[in-house]
């Protein structure tokens, strides 16, 4: 092959009006047109009233004309992340800001959301953003160029996506502990109480020696009286003999 023939074979001609390139005389579909063809075979994502779909789920937005560009997005939810791939039908001469926000509930309600920002560089036609939102159900705002909340003209789509099915909300269980107090009314002595303490008798209020002492005093007094009486009789007898 001559050098001139090689240059002709390797020449690259971009035919933007027809949406394909010619390389060495062979027609190939352009990336953007191929992406649009694939997107057309996917289900439409719908809007905020779209019914939840079982994951993994892939859908496409409609092609929108925004700031002089035609753009669409393909969304994929797998139960953990939501991924959005933007595609321009033709490259731009300037960078194009993009943003996605997965809201809990309806967009604009002021609830929590997960957001990712990016750029489609000048001369490029595609970029991908993703957020991690397991079991989050709500609207996904897909913005192009006009990415602020106050710029609805930049919306490529706003489908309702439930990132997971059969999700349950975690609940918090509070356990309370009640201490019971037992009142013992039994007279049974518990084992922990010393038997010696229970068996101790109370001190006596009196003594048996007192009765003994009283008896002894009575005996002594009785004996004394007998002695006195005997002495009197002896004295009287002595007096009688003296008078006789």
pLDDT number for residue 59: 96
Radius of gyration of the chain (CA): 57
pLDDT number for residue 188: 54
Could you report the per-residue pLDDT of 39-75, keeping only the tens digit for each?
678 999 988 788 877 889 999 999 999 999 999 999 9
Could you report the per-residue pLDDT of 171-217, keeping only the tens digit for each?
545 555 555 555 555 555 555 544 444 444 445 555 555 666 666 77
pLDDT number for residue 77: 96
Q: Which residues contact 239 (CB under 8 A, 6 or more apart)?
A: none
- 211 CB burial (10 A radius; 0-12, 13-18, 19+): exposed
pLDDT number for residue 66: 98
The fold for domain 42-162 equals: Immunoglobulin-like (2.60.40)
Q: What is the DSSP string of the chain?
A: --HHHHHHHT-EEEETTTTEEEETTEEEE-HHHHHHHHHHTSPB---TTPPP-PSSEEEEPPPEEETTEEEEEEEEE-SSEEEEEEEESS--SS-EEEEEEEESBSTTS---EEEEEEEE-TT--EEEEEEE-TT-EEEEEEEES--STT-GGGEEE--EEESSSS---------------------SPPTTS-HHHHHPPPPPSS-THHHHHHHHHHHHHHHHHHHHHHHHHHHHHHHHHHH-
Q: Which residues contact 232 (CB under 8 A, 6 or more apart)?
A: none
Confidence of residue 128 (pLDDT cuts 50, 70, 90): very high
Domain boundaries, the chain: 1-41, 42-162
Least confident of 7-16, 149-158, 233-242: 7-16
Is the pLDDT confidence value at 10 over 90? no
d(C-alpha 146, C-alpha 149), whole Å: 9
- Residues 95-102 have a mean pLDDT of 98
d(C-alpha 45, C-alpha 157), whole Å: 8
pLDDT number for residue 2: 47
128: which strand partners?
85
pLDDT number for residue 61: 96
If you average pLDDT over every residue of the chain, what do you get? Answer: 75
């Amino acid at each position: 092959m001559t050098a001139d023939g090689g240059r002709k074979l390797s020449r690259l001609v971009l035919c933007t009006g027809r949406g394909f390139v010619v390389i060495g005389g062979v027609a190939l579909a352009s990336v953007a047109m191929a992406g649009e063809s694939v997107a057309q075979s996917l289900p439409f994502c719908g809007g905020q009233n779209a019914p939840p779909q079982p994951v993994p789920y892939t859908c496409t937005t409609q092609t929108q004309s925004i700031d002089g560009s035609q753009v669409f997005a393909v969304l994929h939810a797998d139960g953990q992340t939501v991924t959005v791939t933007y595609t321009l039908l033709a490259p731009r001469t300037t960078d194009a800001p993009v943003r996605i926000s997965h809201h809990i509930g309806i967009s604009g309600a002021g609830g929590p959301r997960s957001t990712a920002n990016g750029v489609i560089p000048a001369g490029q036609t595609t970029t991908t953003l993703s957020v991690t939102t397991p079991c989050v159900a709500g609207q996904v705002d897909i913005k192009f160029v006009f990415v602020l909340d106050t710029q609805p003209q930049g919306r490529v789509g706003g489908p309702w996506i439930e990132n997971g099915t059969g999700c349950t909300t975690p609940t918090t269980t509070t356990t309370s502990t009640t201490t019971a107090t037992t009142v013992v009314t039994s007279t049974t002595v518990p084992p922990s109480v010393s038997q010696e303490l229970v068996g101790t008798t109370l001190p006596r209020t009196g003594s048996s020696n007192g009765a003994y002492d009283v008896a002894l005093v009575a005996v002594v007094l009785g004996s004394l009286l007998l002695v006195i009486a005997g002495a009197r009789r002896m004295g009287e007898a002595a007096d009688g003999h003296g008078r006789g």
